[in-house]
Copies of this chain bind each other. A is one copy, B any other.
């Protein structure tokens, strides 16, 4: 049981070191581990009485349908909370589906609110995580609206690196990534065909390699330059390459 609380407590410790009893509360708040298979939907758009989950193992996607295509809003990795904001709405605004086989534990909003009262540090840490998730979505919006396809791709893969490193699932050299090019393209708001060309360019420029379900970061300074040192919104301090304030 403590096993599956591992990633989330590790992540929250980037905000505040939690005491043992607080970690216990965090774990007690969660239901028992449940598995979903890759491709299964855990929540769908418009669903009522939907829940939030802690993602214990595997990767998930939150997405919305648009025209015929889907737009992936956010890629969720172990330790992330799924659908916390949506659960505050009467009807979910997003679909949440398993990208790989996943293990999740349910969180009831009532329990969360209760914990906010009894253990404010835990509540505050979870709100920090939710705010950070929103900051990532905002940055994603800026990415899609303002950055070129190359910058955007590099930026997203760099962000993933920082997030994975925070929970111990990657190093500054690279990480395993279960996203296909089609999934990555749906995330970045471009076609898989164009993404393929972008990835080739990044490879030829010796910046990063996205191949065989693994991302290799070959030139961190080069990538930082390309994307503009801008990982400050992650509000974490482990990433060495994040923004140095006001380097013109």
Contact = CB atoms under 8 A, between A and B. Distances in A.
Interface of A: 46, 64, 66-67, 69, 71, 73, 85-91, 93-94, 113, 116-117, 120, 123-124, 127-128, 130-132, 134-135, 137-142, 144-147, 189, 228, 232-233, 235, 245
Contacts of A135: 85-86, 89, 93
B245 A138 contact: no
Leading 7 A-B pairs by shortest Cβ distance: A145-B189, A88-B131, A66-B146, A117-B117, A93-B233, A93-B135, A85-B131
A245 B46 contact: yes
Given A90-B235, A137-B137, A71 B131 contact: no
A124 B87 CA distance: 11
A116 to B, nearest CB: 5
A145 B146 CA distance: 11
B73 A141 contact: yes
Given A189-B144, A232-B91, A134 B132 contact: no
B232 A66 contact: no
Contact of A141 (B69, B123, B141): B141
A71 B141 CA distance: 9
Nearest to A62: B138
A124 B131 contact: no
13 contacts: A66-B146, A73-B138, A73-B142, A85-B134, A86-B131, A88-B127, A88-B131, A89-B135, A113-B120, A116-B117, A137-B138, A141-B144, A144-B144
A232 B45 CA distance: 10
Given A86-B131, A88-B124, A113-B123, 11 more contacts: A66-B146, A67-B228, A71-B142, A71-B145, A85-B130, A88-B128, A88-B131, A93-B232, A94-B138, A137-B137, A146-B189
A141 B146 contact: no
A190 B124 CA distance: 37
A70 B43 CA distance: 34
A10 B144 CA distance: 34
A145 B142 contact: no
A138 B95 CA distance: 12
Contacts of A123: 113
A232 B67 CA distance: 15
